[in-house]
């Protein structure tokens, strides 16, 4: 497993939050979970269900009596807070914090991110043990994220910063664009049909033809698209053969 930041929950209380934190970590490839003095005991009833399959994260979680014990081996620690703390700490948004984390981890550092109690977050003393603060760019009129959502956003940004955010699939490159020859044949076929139908006002014909060719180019038609369009035109033509040409 490649090195990744450690997630530290300080005095977490609800089984659901811890379980959903484990799941959010698993979603983005984090696995080192440390719990500091969980409220009302550990393990907790219901936490495995809330982890929805991410029980490997729970099984590997370590429990610590104090925060200094939980962070002893780390060389860099971020504290997540929503409010200014009156400390001269560097503050970063999650993307910048995780970009820094990726750099540090690439140099062999051990980096942790601390998350506080569900209702009141981290104490000022706990924040003072951190190198820097991470805060989330939430709307000022609705700033409250729950614990697992905060962990999710940090995990997401970690994955992006570590260059692990790759599209699992792409749709756009599965068929070759049509050759210029095929496109020109389509254009000429279509224009001949529209000429025969008297579609173009003579004084506007050149501009309309040019715009339509431009539009067809912008469709990035594949070979199959061109064949389909030409087949449709031929089918329409086939019908017209049995009717007198429209008067121009």
Residues that bind its own copies (CB under 8 A): 23-24, 26-29, 52-54, 82-85, 87-93, 95, 133, 135, 137-145, 149, 152-153, 156, 159-160, 164-172, 174-175, 222
Quick one: 84 or 237, whose CB is closer to its own copies? Answer: 84
- Where do runs of H (alpha helix) occur along the chain? 15-27, 47-50, 55-60, 67-70, 94-106, 124-128, 147-161, 180-196, 205-218, 223-240
End-to-end CA distance of the chain: 74
Quick one: 119 or 242, whose CB is closer to its own copies? Answer: 119
Quick one: 108 or 168, whose CB is closer to its own copies? Answer: 168
Tokens of 14: 């609800």
Tokens of 55: 């029980």
Asked whether 152 and 23 are in contact (CB, 8 A), the reply is: no
Pairing relationship of beta strands 33-36 and 132-134 according to DSSP bridges? unpaired
**At its nearest, how many Å lie between its own copies and the CB of residue 38?**
23
Reference 20, options 54, 63, 64; nearest CA is: 54
Tokens of 25: 């970590």
**At its nearest, how many Å lie between its own copies and the CB of residue 142?**
4
**At its nearest, how many Å lie between its own copies and the CB of residue 101?**
16
Mapped onto helix, strand or coil, the DSSP state of residue 129 is coil
Quick one: 217 or 234, whose CB is closer to its own copies? Answer: 217
Tokens of 174: 């599965």
**At its nearest, how many Å lie between its own copies and the CB of residue 36?**
23
**At its nearest, how many Å lie between its own copies and the CB of residue 178?**
13
Quick one: 31 or 185, whose CB is closer to its own copies? Answer: 31
């Amino acid at each position: 497993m490649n090195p990744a930041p450690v997630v530290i929950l300080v005095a977490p209380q609800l089984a659901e939050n811890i379980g959903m934190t484990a799941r959010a970590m698993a979603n983005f490839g984090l696995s080192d979970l440390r719990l500091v003095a969980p409220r009302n005991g550990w393990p907790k009833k219901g936490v495995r269900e809330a982890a929805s399959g991410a029980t490997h994260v729970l099984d590997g979680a370590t429990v610590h009596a104090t925060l200094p014990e939980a962070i002893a081996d780390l060389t860099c620690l971020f504290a997540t807070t929503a409010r200014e703390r009156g400390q001269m700490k560097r503050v970063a948004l999650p993307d910048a914090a995780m970009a820094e984390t990726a750099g540090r981890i690439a140099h062999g550092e051990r980096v942790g991110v601390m998350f506080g109690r569900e209702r009141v977050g981290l104490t000022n003393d706990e924040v003072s043990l951190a190198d820097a603060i991470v805060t989330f760019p939430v709307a000022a009129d609705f700033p409250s994220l729950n614990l697992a959502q905060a962990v999710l956003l940090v995990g997401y940004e970690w994955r992006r910063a570590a260059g692990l955010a790759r599209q699992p699939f792409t749709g756009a490159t599965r068929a070759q664009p049509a050759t210029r020859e095929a496109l020109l044949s389509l254009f000429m076929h279509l224009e001949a049909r529209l000429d025969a139908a008297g579609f173009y006002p003579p004084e506007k014909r050149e501009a309309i033809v040019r715009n339509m060719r431009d539009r067809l180019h912008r469709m990035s038609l594949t070979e199959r698209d061109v064949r389909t369009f030409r087949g449709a035109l031929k089918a329409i033509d086939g019908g017209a053969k049995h009717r007198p040409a429209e008067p121009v």
